[in-house]
Every structure is written in structure tokens, then in C-alpha cells.
Amino acid sequence: MTLGLLGVRSRRGRADDLRVELHPTAPSWRIALLTAIGAGALTAAACVAIATGQFAPVMWWLIALAGLATFVPAVGTLSAAVEVDHTGVTVLRFGRMQQFRWDEIVDLGVVERRALVADGTEYHWVWPTRRHMVAVPYLQLVDGTRRELPALSAPTGTGRAVADAHADRIRAQDANAELVTTSS
């Protein structure tokens, strides 16, 4: 397993500031891209049919809504990233940013659960089913809530190692952050 497969990019700014950027795996990103293109084309065709008034308009509205409901999670997966540096973990999706400082994070683990289209974890497979299981890294926060990182998910089984490697990468950055703060 290579770091390229994991979607890991490292950037070094100051000598004590190593930032790691984690992305969805390449296969899941490609499936999300194909899904977004297909859903976008379906939605556009439905909008054209609605505008021209051809066929059954109610059916085309439903098709347009279904296309949009598929398009949005796919774009969410394409835009997802998790940045880890000495200050904490930053989750990026749809251009929105949510940051968790290291002192807010109690634990980091990996949970296995059913894949969902809504959070992008179903994009590891071309044909979705209810049987797909994924391993998803999560942050356990001080207030007791658990924040899953679906952008870093991987199919269970052999793919579990990918999710575990992402979690280990975040743990390593936490250790680096502790070294930086104690040496400063």
C-alpha cells in the first residue's frame, strides 16, 4: 500500500509545521466523479423536458429531484478533504470548514458501519446495495460527540487497512503536535 493510494499529501511550511492533507481513495473519487457527471446529465435532461413541456411533467420533476439528490453527495465526496497539522484536524467539504483543536479530541478510532449515499461512503462501489460495509475513521470529542470522517472511509475487509492507515496518520500528527508544543 502506498501513500498515493491513501490520498495523502504532505506540505511543509515552517520547520515545526508539517501539514498532512487526506483525501478519499482514488477509486472512490473516480466513482463519485462518474456519478456526479451522470446525475448532472440526468438532471439537465429532466430540466430541458420540464422547460419544453413534453411528456409527463410530474415524472420529469421527480427525475430532476432524484438526479439532484444523487449529484449533491457525489460533489461532496469530490470536494472532501481532511487537513491535519499541529493545531488540530480540519474537515473540508462543499467549501465549508470545521476545525477541531487537539485539546477537543479525546480519542481517534475506526468504526465499521453500513455505507450511505448521503455521506459519500457508498462511492467505493459502482452498484450500491444495502449490504456494503465501510470502515470510517472518527474523532471522539471532549463533549462526548463522535465526528465521523466519511471522506477517509474505505470498504471493510482489505480496505479496512486504508481507514486504519488514515487514523494512524492523524495520530502521528497529534504526536508531532505534542512534540512541537513541548519544545516551544
Q: Which of 12-26, 34-48, 111-125 has the highest mean pLDDT?
A: 34-48
Share above pLDDT 90 across residues of the chain, in percent, rounded to a whole number: 9
Domain of 178 in residue numbering reads as 3-35+75-183
Nearest to 119 by CA among 104, 134, 141: 134
Per the CB < 8 A criterion, the answer to whether 169 and 20 are in contact is yes
User: Is there a domain that residue 49 lies in?
Assistant: no
User: Is there a domain that residue 157 lies in?
Assistant: yes
User: Is there a domain that residue 45 lies in?
Assistant: no
Nearest to 160 by CA among 109, 112, 108: 112
Dump pLDDT digits (tens) for 133-168: 888 889 999 999 999 888 888 888 766 787 888 888
The total number of structural domains in the chain stands at 1
pLDDT at 128: 67
Segment holding 92, helix H or strand E: strand 88-93
User: Is there a domain that residue 178 lies in?
Assistant: yes
- pLDDT band for 126, please (50, 70, 90 cuts): low
Residue 7 clears pLDDT 80, i.e. is over it: no
User: Is there a domain that residue 122 lies in?
Assistant: yes
User: Could you tell me whether strands 105-114 and 96-101 are parallel, antiparallel, or unpaired per DSSP bridges?
Assistant: unpaired
pLDDT at 182: 41
Q: Which three cell numbers stand for residue 141?
A: 470529542
- pLDDT band for 13, please (50, 70, 90 cuts): very low
Residues forming beta bridges with residue 114, ordered by sequence position: 133
Q: Which three cell numbers stand for residue 149?
A: 470522517
- pLDDT band for 176, please (50, 70, 90 cuts): low
User: Is there a domain that residue 167 lies in?
Assistant: yes
Q: pTM of the predicted model, to two decimals?
A: 0.69
Q: Using CB atoms within 10 A of its CB, is residue 155 exposed (0-12), middle (13-18) or buried (19+)?
A: buried
